[in-house]
Amino acid sequence: MNKPLANLTFKSNLFFSVALIGLLANLNARQTNPAPASPAGRTPAPEQTEEDTAAESKAKVPFNWLPFPDKARFKVLGLYWFEENNPKLWRMPAGQFDALPAGVKRQSRLPAGGRILLKCDTSKLGLKVLPQNKGSLKGFDVYVNGRFLRSAVAEEPAVETELVLFKDLDKKEKEIIIYLPYHQGILIKAIGVDDNTKFSAAGHEYAKPLPVVFYGSSVCQGSGGLKPGMSYEAILCRKLNLDFINLGFGGAGKAETNVVDLVNSIPACAYIFDLGKSYGMQDATAYKKMLETVRKSHPDVPIFCLTPITSALEVHSQSYSNRSVHTRTVMREAANEFIKSGAKDVYLVEGTDLLGFDEHDGLSKDGVHPTDYGYSIIANKLVPLVRKALGL
């Protein structure tokens, strides 16, 4: 046998032997450590990864695309000035944008707290969206009959994207609520459903006919959370069956007169002020004026004054701690003075009680803003207070 052929035969035999040894070892391992069976006796399917979910949400599914907005089919919640701003999903009225403080103007373009409600029998649901920016905290959450189903994300700015929110559900009528991103400006071009989908009037019977109006800064807006349905406002109001409007403006909760006037112009069943540390080193003047303005216009509506929650950063930064203590002190003294003056249904809620120094595992990676878990802690502590104040 010539040398090349001998070498080839040797290598083939060696490859076969190694492969056989590997196969026998694998079979032995499976017999020794069998895969856990499902309750039905079958091996469970591999767990779906985040990448799988993202790819699935952008997979092509045939939809009957219906233009958005459409009052007959889709109701916009949480965006008080939508009729004026249409089709922009802004949180402040476009006609007054030029007069707004820069931070409020910037954050107003992000539809925090905005939701779309529809009632129909579709088995699948899609969104045709045009992101205006990438957004650090983005995504849509879909709830079906009050329960979370899944999320979807549109990444690329100025690129129209078709998202699949769900597919393969039953053909029964269902109430669907889509939570909009709170750190990403978007336009919705169309909503996709089954052909011949039957719609009912888009509406929900809340425990109170008017919404809870939240005004504040980044924690109020939802910064740090991963899903728009997990801001503390969203959690709180789902638990109490209340509508809500989120006027949290990251870095801009400063109680400027023209901003407070717009907040005050919204009829509400309660006002919750969570101005946070972005109120800064101001004295109590702006805060007191805000309370007086709202109480004068809405004498019988409960007002909640939340001082800032704790953060990991203030434990390690003396300057940030000083700012935090100052802001809490100013807000606390303003609220207590207002209550002592005879104002009724005004409630002071200490942020150190809502998310305390021993609860920092509920903070996000920046050590300042809550995670979804942290927002759940805050919401669960607010539930009994709001429930009692509203007589629910």
Instruction: Classify strands 147-152 and 140-144 as parallel, antiparallel or unpaired.
Output: antiparallel
Residue at which a domain ends, from 168, 200, 232:
200
Q: 277-295 b/e with 16+ CB inside 10 Å = b?
A: bbbbeeebebbbebbebbb
Q: What is the pLDDT of residue 135?
A: 72
What are the tens digits of pLDDT across the range 105-132? 999 999 999 999 999 999 999 999 999 8
Distance CA 146, CA 34 (A): 39
CATH number of the domain encompassing residue 385: 3.40.50.1110
Answer for the pair 379, 235: CB distance below 8 angstroms, yes or no.
Answer: yes
Of 200, 233, 265, the one marking the end of a domain is 200
Q: Is residue 249 part of a domain?
A: yes
Domain boundary among 142, 169, 200: 200
Across residues 2-24, what is the average pLDDT? 40
Residues 188 and 217 in one domain: no
- Confidence band of 133 (pLDDT split at 50, 70, 90): confident
Task: Identify whether 325 is part of a domain.
Answer: yes
Looking at the structure of the chain, the number of domains it has is: 2
Report the mean per-residue pLDDT for the chain: 88
pLDDT cut 90: percent of the chain above it: 81
Residue 38: inside a domain, yes or no?
A: no
Q: Which of 250, 232, 253, 367 is nearest to 311 (CA)?
A: 367
Does 326 lie in the same domain as 264?
A: yes
Domain co-membership, 187 together with 219: no
Residues with Cβ within 8 Å of residue 90, at least 6 apart in sequence: 79, 81, 108, 109, 111
Amino acid 58: pLDDT: 59
User: Where do we find the tokens 């701690």?
Assistant: 321
pLDDT at 56: 56
CA distance linking residue 58 with residue 61, whole number of Å: 9
pLDDT at 157: 87
**Shared-domain flag, residues 219 and 185:** no
List pLDDT tens digits, range 301-315: 999 999 999 999 999
Instruction: Examine residue 3 and state whether it is found in any structural domain, yes or no.
Output: no
| Domain membership flag for residue 370 | yes
d(CA 264, CA 278): 20
Q: What is the dihedral of CA 145, 151, 152, 155, to 10 degrees?
A: 140
Mark whether 191 and 216 lie in a shared domain: no
CB contact set of 268 (below 8 Å; sequence gap of 6+): 210, 211, 212, 213, 245, 298, 301
* Angle, in degrees to the nearest 10, between helices 285-297 and 257-264: 20
Q: Which range among 134-143, 189-198, 226-235 shows the weakest confidence by mean pLDDT? A: 134-143
The rounded distance, in Å, linking the Cα atoms of 246 and 111 is 9
CATH number at residue 132: 2.60.120.260
pTM comes to 0.85
Mean pLDDT of 74-90: 97
Same domain (yes/no): 153, 96: yes
Asked whether residue 222 falls in the same domain as residue 361, the answer is: yes
35 found inside a domain: no
Whether residue 45 is contained in a domain is answered as no
The parent domain of residue 381 ranges over: 212-390
Do 124 and 234 belong together in one domain? no
Q: Does 69 sit behind a cis peptide bond, omega within 30 degrees of 0 on the bond before it?
A: yes
Split at pLDDT 50, 70, 90, the class of 47 is low
Residue 101 within any structural domain of the chain: yes
Q: Are residues 218 and 181 in the same domain?
A: no
For residues 218 and 141, membership in a common domain is answered with: no
Mean pLDDT computed over 244-272:
97
Give the tens place of pLDDT for each residue, 149-196.
999 999 888 899 999 999 999 999 999 999 999 999 999 999 999 999
The per-residue pLDDT for 83 is 95
pLDDT at 239 over 80: yes
The verdict on 195 and 218 lying in the same domain is no
Cα–Cα distance list, 163 to 154, 157, 192, 218 (Å): 7, 14, 9, 27
* pLDDT at site 3: 38
Q: Do residues 188 and 225 both lie within one domain?
A: no
